[in-house]
Amino acid sequence: GKHRIVIPCLGHFKEEYEKVSKLYMNNKIRTTKYTLLNFLPRNLFEQFHRVANLYFLFLVVLNWFPLVEAFQKEITMLPLIGVLTIIAVKDGLEDYSRYKMDKQINNLLTKVYSR
């Protein structure tokens, strides 16, 4: 069978604990999709997988050609930027609430059986 080593992180065992614990993955729960560094690119990537957002992006790009320009260039960008911003804020708030829940769960006290 599999054997587990449990070393208490107490006083004189601390050095041994740190040496042994580096060999193992931690058991923290992480249910968030984003980090601060990847939020913007990953969120935009996900949003442009929606057909409606691609359609509005196509209209914005098309409007930059003088031959096709129906409205002022900046005005055609407003609906798309508005929708992308609202969805990004919603996704960010949802992810932040998942982060807070993960933090709460990861900081729970746990009872460990010891003979």
HEC string for the chain: CCCCCCCCCCHHHHHHHHHHHCCCCCCCCCCCCCCCCCHHHHHHHHHCCCHHHHHHHHHHHHHCCCCCCCCCHHHHHHHHHHHHHHHHHHHHHHHHHHHHHHHHHHCCCCCCCCC
Q: Which two tokens mark 30? A: 């992480």
pLDDT at residue number 82: 94
- Who has greater pLDDT, 85 or 77? 85
Q: Please indicate, yes or no, if residue 68 is contained in any of the structural domains.
A: yes
State mean pLDDT over 66-95.
Answer: 88
Q: What is the pLDDT of residues 15-30, one digit of tens each?
A: 777 777 777 777 788 9
Indicate whether 70 belongs to any domain. yes
pLDDT of residue 113: 75
Task: For residue 84, give its domain range.
Answer: 31-107
**Does residue 15 belong to any structural domain of this protein?**
no
- Domains contained in the chain, number: 1
Q: Does 26 fall in a domain?
A: no
Residue 98 reports pLDDT greater than 90: yes
44 part of a folded domain: yes
Assess if residue 78 is contained within a domain: yes
Q: Note whether 63 and 70 are within 8 A (CB).
A: yes
Residue 113 located in a structural domain: no
Do the domain assignments include residue 100? yes
Cα distance between residue 3 and residue 10, in whole Å? 22
